[in-house]
Amino acid sequence: MTAPTDVAARLTGRAVRAQRPLSGDLAEVTLDDGRVVVVKPSDGPGAARAEAAGLRWLAGAGAVRLPAVHGHEEGWLVIDRVPQGRPGREAAVRFGRDLAALHATGAPAFGAPPPDGPADAYIGLAPMRNEPGTDWPGWYAEQRVLPYLRRAVDQGTVRPGEATVVERLCERLPALAGPAEPPARLHGDLWNGNVLWAADGHVWLIDPAAHGGHRETDLAMLRLFGCPHLDQVLDGYQERTPLADGWQDRVGVHQLFPLLVHAVLFGRSYAEQALAAARSALAG
């Protein structure tokens, strides 16, 4: 098996001074020039390429902070380490402004992959297909919600009779989606674990599932899994680019996708949350 130190040396072109295991094959590696990089194993075919392309695409917006990519190969990705700090209110407001600026840089289409990124990508451990579309409600239903609903039904995580509530929501998405918006440049997997409060007083983002999407989806995921100082993040976001009226009522619609992904990966409790979100959106 390839060692993280070998990967770091090969992809950075530097000799390795030390290694510190983190979890599994994930490791921090200190190079001979003193820099510290993270060597990360990827979760499936093409995953390292997709993540590297996503990090570069998001960084190219010049809005949010992301670790530099040193290189990737099948099964491995090498990026800069982000020194950890503590969450703070000022950093949260600044992060909100930066996230709004990222979204505003846009994408060619809903579902557009990053340049040089594969169409077959990942969100966490789950495969995610980036198939471009021009209409958000139709694209969101066909490319994000229904594929994971079908997988959850096939696994038995969602019962066939329960799936109809999600299918009804997809049919009603044109009326539930709010005002039409252009495709935003999304992180795509913006849960709290991928938000790093760094020692430099800024927020850094890692592990993207980057694609063109609706900006409210990133914000809904932050709310779904918790984020320190979320109210301040939203204040900063609204200061930079106000959200459309009624966005609070659409949070559950945008949470449906990550909830169904989690139902496929982790089981019934997330399926129940997804069904509850769909019922609430339909009732509202």
Catalytic residues: 189
Phi and psi, residue 135, nearest 5°: -115, 115
Euclidean distance between CA atoms 201 and 87, whole angstroms? 8
Distance CA(118)–CA(100), nearest Å, equals 25
- DSSP class of 243: P
Are 92 and 228 within 8 A, CB to CB?
Answer: yes
93, two tokens = 């407001």
Structure tokens at 205: 């983002």
**DSSP string of 120-134, one letter each residue:** EEEETTEEEE---BS
* Rounded Cα–Cα distance for residues 117 and 52 (Å): 8
CA distances from 258 to 38, 65, 72, 195, 263 (A): 26, 23, 26, 16, 9
Nearest by Cα to 102 from 10, 231, 190, 201: 190
- Contact between 110 and 134 under an 8 Å Cβ cutoff? The reply is yes
Tell me how long the chain is.
284
Residue 116 neighbours by CB distance under 10 Å: 11
With H, G, I as helix, E, B as strand and everything else as coil, classify residue 80.
strand
